Structure 1
């Protein structure tokens, strides 16, 4: 299915490139003494394409996050699924996931450093250093916002049902990158006060930001096969992300952002 999508979608960012197979591989990189193992996808069209770092949810770099990278590859992007925990760990239980993700949420500076390491690894694989975005899901969506708060070298960040809260003792600093938040109105992990506090943070930081809120969409609404999956919200948020990437990178395409991750799953 992904090859079929590639035939339709690999019409370059300007609508002129020929379809080619994706090249997915493991990439080993480092953050301090930690060995990290990301999953890199290149459309193999040319070097210096825009790049997207994908921050996975709290279970680590699962098949879902790799499918996101594969789909981004079909649109002509270089994409890297980041490894936050180290050694490419994919967790098997929510208790461990809560502990590990909670550590990085609390020690946000370490989270930011590991995100920066993923950005550097993506650039080392040939992505255009001047055209990088960070997107993330759940825990990864929290990380995408941390990338913006840390003023990492990216043009934009996208948070899919990510955590919006922050320690109120932290100083609000200017956010220079563009921010897109894709949030479910039925997200049980965020209160209305949390949403409003985040909006105020964005105002105070003078950010160029946007928030889309999807009706009846709970936390984790993007992942097909999960109890939280909301097809309409997943489809609309994917299109919103794609349009955002085209805007921040100044790209044009003849193929619209119409494919969902459910399409990718259908081919597996």
Structure 2
């Protein structure tokens, strides 16, 4: 099996040193294994994606010395594929439509009888306001769709786990506790009305379709991996190995964000930095 990995940035702002670390680490690991490195454009959110930022991604990564096969996969081209996956889950009775706004969820999660609201990998853990007593029937509506976590976990016949070659934020590895997912993850959104699919669904489908064997990404996504492994099981897709790497932080210890233009790759390039300088700054 060929070692195959990917780097999947969103064209919503400039790439910074954290992106450089993730992309270069994945590229280096693929080269060391005589494998394949894919660039993938995570532009499912067309309200925020911009063609000029996508062009900058290509330019910055090429300047860093990376190369990848063509054509590049773009999530915005794959909405019908995601709808097929959603239909599979709908037919299994694992999805339901949700009409709650974010304000509704905050209010319900903060109600006195609920206690302190829990934050999970999908934001506030959904309190189940729209969850039906039995699976909905008929055609799948064009609506926000949530995974019924309890029903999904009840379908499992084998333990959930994944092979972790890096480490989570607290040094944990790839053991997943399904019962904990009910409390700490909840009914995650898998389809959004304005995007067709959520990150959780699209990344699982894309990784499977590109035969990704190793997912290399930051530790901030470690908690989301349990969602992805569950979806892989439900959709009968393989589970790749995962490598969750350290995060590049600023002088105060805060994780870099796209709005931090001072640490954008393009800024360092304009100041005369070389590829070797960037590697040195990020510890590669």
Q: TM-score, normalized by length of structure 2?
A: 0.29
Give the greater-gyration-radius structure (CA). 2
Highest RCO, 1 vs 2 (Cα 8 Å, sep ≥ 6): 2
Which structure has more strand as a fraction of its residues?
Answer: 1
Q: TM-score, normalized by length of structure 1?
A: 0.30
